[in-house]
Amino acid sequence: MAQNQPIEALIDLMARLPGLGPRSARRAVLQMVRKRETLLSPLAEAMQEVARNVRECGNCGNIATGEICDICASNKRATGEICVVETVGDLWAMERANVFGGRYHVLGGTLSALDGIGPDELRIPRLVERIPAEEVTEVILALNATIDGMTTAHYIADRLDGMVRLTSLAQGVPVGGELDYLDEGTITAALAARKAF
């Protein structure tokens, strides 16, 4: 296919995004070229803006524009509760349910002996530090209901044992299910019925 070089390069990159294959990447790029002023240029600028200004929150691991994310910086969020999630996507899923008023801690994954991911790779030491520093009284373990998620929850429960009240999302999260795929109602119910871990 003797196609245009910059176009080919863009299609190859787009095809690496989750959910897009070569065909949908081609369609997306054609749409961009058709809407250069209203879509392509704004996309390029929005990406550059994110690349320049977005980083990890130094406190919780959420996405941030400054040193600290909007949630950690807000004085409207309860300081005594931390909800522990695996990824930023899971944090967003919790926020969409709009039912948790505390702060978060984003682990960045789960423990995995197979992949060589230990506690230090997961921002767990920082979680332990936050308990006294933010006078935390409850840690809600909102990990995915997968084997790795449960293993990680148990490890964290051991580390924080005696320091703080530990709860986990109620059953209601389907077994094997991932937070990011759940509707707001299920997340709301699971949080309301949370139980001691």
CB of 167 to a copy of itself, least distance (A): 23
59 binds, among a copy of itself, Zn ion, none (CB under 5 to 8 A by kind): Zn ion
Q: What is the separation of C-alpha 102 from the centre of its chain, rounded to a whole number of angstroms?
A: 16
Residue by residue, DSSP assigns 65-101 as SSSS-HHHH-TTS-SSEEEEESSHHHHHHHHHHT---
Please give the backbone phi and psi of residue 74, each rounded to the nearest 5 degrees, phi first: -70, 135
CB of 158 to a copy of itself, least distance (A): 28
Residue 83 binds to Zn ion (criterion: CB under 5 A):
no
Which helix (H) or strand (E) is 139 found in, with range?
strand 138-141
8-state DSSP, 164? S
Per CB under 5 A, which region of 26-34, 37-45, 72-80, 185-193 contacts Zn ion?
A: 72-80
Can you give the binding site for a copy of itself, defined by CB under 8 A? Answer: 1-7, 9-10, 13-14, 16-20, 24, 26-33, 36, 39-44, 46-51, 53-54, 63-65, 69-71, 74, 87-89, 92, 95-96, 98, 180
Burial class (CB in 10 A: 0-12, 13-18, 19+), 49: exposed
CB of 123 to a copy of itself, least distance (A): 14
8 Å CB contact between 87 and 106: yes
CB of 181 to a copy of itself, least distance (A): 9
Of the candidates 11, 25, 28, 69, which one interacts with Zn ion according to CB under 5 A? 69
Binding mask 35-64 for Zn ion (x = CB under 5 A): ----------------------x-xx-x--
